[in-house]
Structure 1
Amino acid sequence: MHITFTEAALGRIDQLRGDTVGQLHLYYDTEGCGCGNSGIFSIRLVSAATSEDMTIDSNVGPVLVKRWSSHFLDQEMTLDYNAEKKSLILKSDGQYFNTNVLVTDQTGCQLTVNR
């Protein structure tokens, strides 16, 4: 499994993260979604991996993902940024996983930029 971060996506993540430290985690959030197979992916900045995590390859190094959520992903994916909509987009050749990927801190709080 591999994810390519475009330069535009990396720039947006850096802008949002500011001084927030942490490893990139492609986090599958099911909070408020009703059931485990109805969730949404976000980028979470975490301090450490847990026993539930595995890594997937990327052009910026290993990215964490929960083992149980990896079956929702495709073998080759891209995280891009749409500047007009100010949104990160997780996609593959076959589908869009999320057209508004949020970047959050370790607790799940959304990181924002005042611009």
Structure 2
Amino acid sequence: MRVTFTDQAIEKLERDSEGYMKLHYDIEDCGCVVNGVTQLVNDSAQGDFNMTLESNFRPVLIQKQYKVFFDKEMKIDFLPKHQCFMLKSDSEIINPRMRYINKG
């Protein structure tokens, strides 16, 4: 699996260059695991994120049990108008307004 960051996304994220970059599949208060929401998280701790995805920016971690909800090739873009990120692939938009959380 691979994640490609657009130039705009890299520019927005490069100030937070320390820590672990994670795609967190959040299922809290979603009712069902299939209704989870992906968030982009920069965190000082690896935690239970046990799978590393290749990237053109920094390695990205996910939790292996949620890899089924991600595509083989994904792209993260930054949307300046909405001040958020978008996670997409060639076949779908996984999260059109992905939240970024900096815990680092």
TM-score (norm. length: structure 1): 0.79
**Displacement after TM superposition at 1:21 (Å):** 4.2
Count residues with an aligned counterpart.
104
Structure 1 gaps of 5+ residues are 108-115
Q: Is the 8 A contact 1:54 1:65 kept in 2?
A: yes
User: Which residue matches 1:113?
Assistant: none
Structure 2 gaps of 5+ residues are none
Counterpart CA distance in 1 for 2:103 and 2:31 is 22
User: Which residue matches 2:100?
Assistant: 103
Q: Which amino acid aligns with 1:77?
A: M
Q: Matched residues, percent identical?
A: 32
Structure 1 residues 24-39: aligned runs within 5 Å: 24-39=21-36
User: Which residue matches 1:12?
Assistant: 12
TM-score (norm. length: structure 2): 0.87
Say which one has the larger Rg: 1
**Displacement after TM superposition at 1:44 (Å):** 1.1
Q: Which amino acid aligns with 1:9?
A: A
Relative to structure 1, is the Cα distance of residues 39 and 11 closer, same or farther in structure 2, using a 3 angstrom cutoff?
Answer: same
Tell me which stretches of 4 or more aligned residues in structure 1 moved more than 6 Å: none
